[in-house]
């Protein structure tokens, strides 16, 4: 087993992001894998993530960083050539951005994914590939029977969404991610690449620089600490399930360890019914944990928003034994503790601002 681990060469597209940097840290600190982070550094906070990663890695000499874009097929092929495992987290992540620029959304999410798959196929190494898709491929789920009770919507069938739910690619973002999702799945069937697709719900945890479009739980916590009002699109009773970043890391490990079972599979991944809450219920919990009152205003729902999404993760549990260990309150608490630590380091009760003095620029082609 030690020999097998020492041969691991892991490539992480989008490796400077929230999920990618946490996964890179996990690999560097708990395995002997060589880790190659590939990222275009376009998202807020990612330079800080890379600085943190290099400072806290047990073996930073096993970390390689490439600043590049997955739309660059030649650069992608060069990165993929030596990889035994590929984790594809790079994406355009916002429904709102996909509406304003559908072409860019398609080029990043669909064409970028095809570049990675073609590079993997042509490398002839048959690398393991894990792609993070989204629950948005199921559309707005308007056909679900819901009832509004108190501060949340409830599903009459009391069931989460399983992989048997029909795809309904709603919005350009849903279309581009759904296209990528199906390409990854089909490259396993047609070209025998050992691929896995995770259709993920809300992921949350420390070191997340959230906003309205992604990372909303962290966005709510940071807004509370900074006394900034929130905008809620809809009535705030819409329901999501939340999964801790630590539990997601465990899911990555499980599917890779059980490739004989998981290769070629699609899994819905999230916190499940036990970790579901409406937006206003999450606000209630944040107020209790932080002692801060959160002000918010209501706006019209956004296109493609789901009133109710809760993951049925039993297929993944059946195949790997995985299930979430952290509950929603623990996840919120972990974000709060990290944010307080950052605030103390910055000298005020706020998330540290991203000023040039705090950013460590990454060389164009670090090695």
Where do the domains of the chain lie, and which CATH numbers do they carry? Answer: 2-357 (3.40.50.720)
- Give the CA distances from residue 30 to residues 26, 57, 218, in Å, rounded to whole numbers and listed in that order: 6, 10, 26
Question: Kind of pairing, strands 63-67 and 146-149?
Answer: unpaired
Q: Which two tokens stand for residue 332?
A: 């919120």
Considering only CA atoms, which of 322, 85, 74, 93 is closest in space to residue 195? Answer: 85
At residue 353, the pLDDT reads: 40
3-state helix, strand, coil in the chain (%, to 5): 45, 20, 35
Distance CA 249, CA 200 (A): 13
Backbone angles phi, psi at 203, to 5 degrees: -105, 135
Which residues have C-beta within 8 Å of that of residue 103, sequence separation ≥ 6? none
Whole-angstrom distance between the N-terminal and C-terminal Cα of the chain?
27
Which residues have C-beta within 8 Å of that of residue 220, sequence separation ≥ 6? 210, 230, 282, 283, 286, 294
- Give the CA distances from residue 295 to residues 152, 223, 224, 260, 280, in Å, rounded to whole numbers and listed in that order: 19, 9, 8, 50, 11
Q: Is 141 helix (H, G, I), strand (E, B) or coil?
A: coil
> Which of these is catalytic: 87, 138, 173, 183?
173
At residue 274, the pLDDT reads: 96
Considering only CA atoms, which of 239, 247, 111, 226 is closest in space to residue 179? Answer: 111
At residue 347, the pLDDT reads: 64
Distance CA 74, CA 187 (A): 20
Cβ-in-10-Å burial (0-12, 13-18, 19+) of 247 comes to buried
Active site residue 173: yes
Q: Which two tokens stand for residue 50?
A: 């890379």
DSSP 8-state assignment for residue 301: P
Q: Which two tokens stand for residue 31?
A: 């395995």
pLDDT per residue of the chain (367 residues) written in tens, 0 to 9? 344 445 899 999 999 999 999 999 999 999 999 999 999 998 877 898 999 998 888 888 899 999 999 999 999 999 999 999 999 999 998 888 899 999 999 999 999 999 999 999 999 999 999 999 999 999 988 888 899 988 999 998 878 999 999 999 988 999 999 999 999 999 999 999 999 999 999 999 999 987 877 889 999 999 999 999 999 999 999 999 999 999 999 999 999 999 999 999 999 999 999 999 999 999 999 999 999 999 999 999 887 788 999 999 999 999 999 999 999 999 999 999 999 888 777 764 444 443 333 333 333 333 2
Helices (H), 226-296: 245-257, 259-262, 279-290
Q: Which two tokens stand for residue 210?
A: 């959230």
Q: Is 139 helix (H, G, I), strand (E, B) or coil?
A: coil
- Number of alpha helices (DSSP H) and beta strands (DSSP E) in the chain: 14, 15
DSSP 8-state assignment for residue 364: T
At residue 93, the pLDDT reads: 86
| pTM for the structure as a whole | 0.90
Q: Is 197 helix (H, G, I), strand (E, B) or coil?
A: strand
At residue 104, the pLDDT reads: 96
Question: Kind of pairing, strands 265-269 and 195-200?
Answer: parallel
């Amino acid at each position: 087993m030690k020999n097998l681990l020492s041969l691991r060469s892991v490539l992480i597209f989008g490796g400077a992001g929230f999920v990618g940097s946490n996964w890179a840290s996990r690999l560097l600190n708990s395995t002997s894998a060589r880790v190659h982070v590939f990222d275009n550094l376009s998202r807020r906070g990612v330079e800080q993530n890379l600085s943190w990663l290099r400072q806290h890695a047990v073996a930073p000499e096993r970390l390689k960083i490439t600043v590049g874009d997955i739309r660059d097929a030649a650069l992608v092929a060069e990165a993929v050539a030596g990889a035994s495992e590929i984790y594809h987290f790079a994406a355009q992540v916002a429904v709102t951005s996909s509406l304003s620029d559908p072409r860019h959304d398609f080029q990043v999410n669909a064409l970028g994914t095809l570049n990675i798959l073609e590079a993997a196929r042509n490398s002839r190494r048959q690398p393991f590939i894990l792609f993070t898709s989204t629950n948005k491929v199921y559309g707005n789920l308007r056909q679900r029977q819901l009832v509004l009770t108190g501060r949340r919507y409830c599903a009459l069938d009391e069931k989460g969404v399983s992989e048997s739910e029909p795809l309904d690619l709603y919005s350009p973002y849903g279309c581009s991610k759904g296209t990528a999702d199906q390409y990854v799945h089909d490259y396993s069937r047609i070209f025998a690449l050992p691929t896995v697709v995770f259709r993920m719900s809300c992921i949350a945890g420390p070191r997340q620089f959230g906003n309205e479009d992604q990372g909303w739980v962290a966005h709510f916590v940071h807004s509370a600490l900074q006394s900034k009002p929130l905008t809620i699109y809809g009535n705030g009773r819409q329901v999501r399930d939340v999964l801790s970043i630590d539990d997601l890391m465990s899911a990555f490990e499980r599917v890779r360890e059980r490739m004989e079972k998981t290769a070629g599979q699609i899994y819905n991944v999230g916190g499940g019914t036990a970790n579901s809450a409406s937006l206003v219920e999450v606000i209630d919990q944040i107020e209790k944990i932080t002692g801060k009152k959160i002000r918010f205003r209501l706006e019209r729902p956004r296109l493609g928003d789901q009133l109710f999404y809760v993951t049925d993760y039993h297929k993944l549990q059946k195949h790997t034994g995985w299930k979430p260990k952290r509950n929603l309150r623990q996840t919120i608490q972990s974000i709060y503790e990290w944010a307080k630590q950052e605030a103390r380091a910055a000298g005020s009760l706020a998330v540290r601002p991203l000023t040039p003095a705090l950013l460590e620029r990454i060389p164009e082609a670090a090695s």
